[in-house]
Amino acid sequence: MDKALEIGSKAPSFSLPSDGEGSINLKDFKGEKVILYFYPKDDTAGCTKEAIEFTKNITKFKRAGAHIIGVSKDSIAKHKNFKEKHALKVMLASDETGEMVKKYGVWTEKSMYGRKYMGIERTTFLIDEKGAIRRIWRKVRVSGHVDEVLAEVKGL
């Protein structure tokens, strides 16, 4: 899929292996809010900061009725190491095939030091209790992002 996902669109279903032994399915969260955040790579500066910020606020998100799921193309083994190293409490899902990042339109051309390559655009989706996308944050800047997402969740 391309970037056709919009506010009000039904969130594409998924079933991905998770760090918690087993898999994470969107349908398992029916009737609950989901913060689905896509990030480029475990244990890099921005991705670590984002995961730590979500972890610090996980109780506030739970009180607001929201679950947090981080998705990257890293393996489950890398996710487990990442979680242990930083004491992360967010669920992490592995999309090694890249199927989900394409469905959500976050697999994009990037550029660094003049070199072009394909990668995950840091993006967050707020999915409501009925499975509809209520908010999309593209090209996320980590600083202040978690607070903004929490304010939006509380407003639903």
Q: How far apart are CA 96 and CA 100, in angstroms?
A: 9
Average pLDDT value for the chain: 94
Q: Under a CB-based contact definition with an 8 Å cutoff, are residues 120 and 40 in contact?
A: yes
Q: Which residue has the tokens 């993006």?
A: 123
pLDDT band for position 19 (cuts 50, 70, 90): confident
Residue-wise pLDDT for 24-78, tens only, equals 999 999 999 999 999 999 999 999 999 999 999 999 999 999 999 999 999 999 9
Question: What is the average pLDDT across 7-29?
Answer: 92
47 is a catalytic site residue = yes
Question: What is the average pLDDT across 84-108?
Answer: 96
For the chain, the C-alpha Rg in angstroms (whole number) is: 14
Residue 21: predicted pLDDT:
74
Residue 14: predicted pLDDT:
95
Q: How far apart are CA 113 and CA 79, in angstroms?
A: 27
The most distant pair of C-alpha atoms in the chain lies apart, rounded to whole Å, by 45
Q: To the nearest whole percent, how much of the chain has pLDDT over 70? A: 98
Among 47, 92, 101, 126, which one carries the catalytic annotation?
A: 47
Q: Which domains does the chain have, with CATH numbers?
A: 32-155 (3.40.30.10)
